[in-house]
Structure 1
Amino acid sequence: MCKKIIFLLCFLPFYLLSAQTNELKKFPKGCSPKQVGNRLAYNFVNARHDLYAGRYIHYAEVCTWNGALDYALKTNDRELIKQLQNRFEPFFTREKVLLPPMNHVDYNMFGSLALKLYQITNDKRYLEIGLAYADSQWEVPVNAKPEEKDWAEKGYSWQTRMWIDDMYMITVIQNEAYKVTGDPKYIDRAAKEMVLYLDELQRPSGLFYHAPDVPYYWARGDGWMAVGMADLLRELPKNHKNYVRIMEGYQVMMKSLKNHQRPDGMWNQLIDEPDFWPETSGTAMFTYAFIIGVQQGWLNASEYGSAARKAWLAMVPFIDERNNVTEVCVGTGKKNDKQYYYDRPRLAGDFHGQAPYLWCAAALLRK
């Protein structure tokens, strides 16, 4: 009897977690992560480049590319991996001019793609490009502005600008650099930066204003924080000095997001405005953060697994017959005007939406 009790105490939590996460394993026909991921990943392979003013690869394309690679790896789709690798090959030659300069968070995150490809191919060309982008985030250029030099002197990236988007753009490349090198300086950079942004920008509600002077909780903006924390915590050693602080910020945000989820499973363009329209990119980012939290045991599996499932099933019908995610808010700068956010145009096939859908599909395929 005693042995039986000990067995139950030791293994019951694992059994319950496994049973509860089953909600994230079985889906109706047409809604499985493999079916959805396949549609979106092959859609991306044949897509045109998304460029900043016709000059450089846009970060949203990089996010989608990374998601397609993650999905291809989870399904062991060697043909898809090859096509995604082939899409990069021209950057070494005729498309080299499209490589973003190393002078802005949105540009530098391009290196995360090269580092991910290095992990797949072991081709040193990718490593060289990727580490150059990662390291230049902390290498102050001669023509840096005074405020950029101030950030660097405090140990932060000179590209720090206190925009919530940064906590994906900076952390994603530093995370990938840590994975390929094992050098703790990369994960330390990401964690230190994340704590700064949490301390300065997170509201008591757990959410984040689009900007300190714009008191609105814009879904995709908050989505960058949600995904950035989830991905960073997955790599950050539990004994790291910043682990507890970041986990605290993550969990309070997840609780607030769950409270603001619509009955149909989506989240609105402005998270706490019930009369606004459901927006797909933010919804997908929050769903991804829930999925990772449940799988890692950071979030109550029954509660958040159900919420993630509801969200995923609500998201899939927003993919049209051309495999484009619809109802994606266009790129949006800050403005202290609520109507401005309501009136933002909505696109189909925008990489801001394709990317987090692929992240979710790949995450749901994790064992």
Structure 2
Amino acid sequence: MALYSIYPKEVFYEYAYNWSDFHQWGYRDGVVTRNADDYCAGQTYLDLYRINQDPNCIRKVKANLDMLVNTPQDDDWWWIDAVQMGMPVFAKLGATLDEPKYWDKMWDMYEDCRNKISGTGLFNQEDGLWWRDADFIPPYQEPNGEDCYWSRGNGWVYAALVRVLSEIPKDEKHYKDYVSDYMLMTKAIVKCQREDGFWNVSLHDPENYGGKEVTGTSLFLYGLAWGVNNGLLSYEKYGPFITKAWTSIVKDAIHPNGFLGYVQGTGKEPKDGQPVTFQSMPDFEDYGIGCFLLAGVEVYKMKQYE
């Protein structure tokens, strides 16, 4: 859908529409699911609704989020991937229907993940990075003694902040809080970029399965380029990080036939989905293409800085 926004080729729309229709505009575990991995699909349903205005596209999205809004639990997002899977659906539906109640619940669930899970929350503000879930909060540490900050997990949160800030108005009560977290992460992320433009799967331990990896790199690139395009980051300061990452992915990760290499497979930490190589085919690769397309679309929009 991001690619369609800059290159509205009919086959892209048809692919997304047919995929959504096949799943009956619903979720794996139905409209009563509380699992953000399930209702992440609502992001696409909402994008399609904005084009075709067919209320059937979002009937189940609304039913599901209304259930979440009207129940008191806020602790569903106990792992950081869920922030990206869940938050943008709330942000998009709130913007689509002009209903701030969805943004209020979104903040309550985000704040619980950020500050309360396991008593500490999963966001280490001192480092500007997130532990993947409670299993990785210290005393857990990487082989070099550092905290474990998984690249793709942090990339998901960074992308979530971008997708939320793209939807909510600047006078929304927590807009500045999201911007603050985005800036904290930005400063931490650029410190971790490798000389070759990629990011390691373990952001603070480059020796623990160190090497090129595309999903985390693409999500960081997406967030950085979006920040420049939307005036939160200066091109002069952050352009070199963006150029280095994009150039490296295109040069080192893409096969002549379009296959994307260096994609870490499913998991939750550096050791999962290894080895990550130019030739390796991950067990579930389509999110890798998605991360790359999100990044590519934002880099394309930066042509004004050329």
Which structure 2 residues correspond to residues 282-321 of structure 1 after superposition, within 5 A? 282-316=216-250, 317-321=252-256
Residue in 1 that maps onto 2:296 = 361
Q: Pairwise CA RMSD of aligned residues? A: 2.4
Assess, with a 3 A threshold, how the Cα gap between structure 1 residues 343 and 126 changes in structure 2: closer, same or farther: closer
Counterparts in 2 of 1:210 and 1:168: CA distance versus 1, 3 Å: same
- Letter matched to residue 217 of structure 2: T
Query: TM-score if structure 1 supplies the norm length?
Result: 0.69
Gaps of 5+ in 1: 1-68, 141-151, 335-339
For the pair 1:344 / 2:274, whether they are aligned, the reply is yes
Post-superposition shift, 1:160? 3.3
SS at match of 2:258: coil
2:122 is aligned to 201
Please tell me whether the aligned partners of residues 281 and 329 of structure 1 are also in contact (alpha carbons under 8 angstroms). yes
| 2: CA distance, partners of 1:261 / 1:299 | 17
Distance 1:130 1:322, change over 3 A: farther
Contact 1:175-1:190 at 8 Å conserved across structures: yes
Distance in structure 2 (CA, Å) of the matches to 1:83 and 1:224: 24
Q: Which has more radius of gyration?
A: 1
Q: What percent identity do the matched residue pairs reach? A: 23
Q: Is the 8 A contact 2:77 2:83 kept in 1?
A: no
- Number of residue pairs aligned between Structure 1 and Structure 2: 276
Deviations 1:228-275 (A, max 9, x none): 112212223222332222212111111111111011111001012233
Task: Show the counterpart of 1:149.
Answer: none
Q: Judge conservation of contact 1:111–1:133 (CA < 8 Å) in 2.
A: no
Which residue matches 1:181?
97
Q: Relative to total residues, which structure has the larger helix share, 1 or 2?
A: 1
Gaps of at least 5 residues in structure 2 are: 116-120, 137-146
1:127 aligns with 2:49: no
1:343 Cα deviation from its structure 2 partner = 7.2
Higher relative contact order (CA 8 A, sep 6+): 1
Deviations along 1:105-125, whole A, 9 cap, x unmatched?
Answer: 111212222111111111121
Q: Kindly indicate whether the alpha-carbon contact (under 8 Å) linking 1:265 and 1:310 is maintained by their aligned counterparts in 2.
A: yes
CA shift digits 1:114-169 (9 cap, x unpaired) = 111111111121021322233333354xxxxxxxxxxx25xx3x6232x1112111
Which of 234, 238, 253 is equivalent to 2:185? 253
Q: 1:301 to 1:320 in 2, by over 3 A?
A: same
- Residue 278 of structure 1 aligns to a residue whose secondary structure is coil
> CA offsets per residue over residues 198-238 of structure 1, 9 Å max, x none?
33222111011223432411101111111111221222322
Summarize the Cα distance change of 1:342–1:98 in structure 2 as closer, same or farther, 3 Å threshold: closer
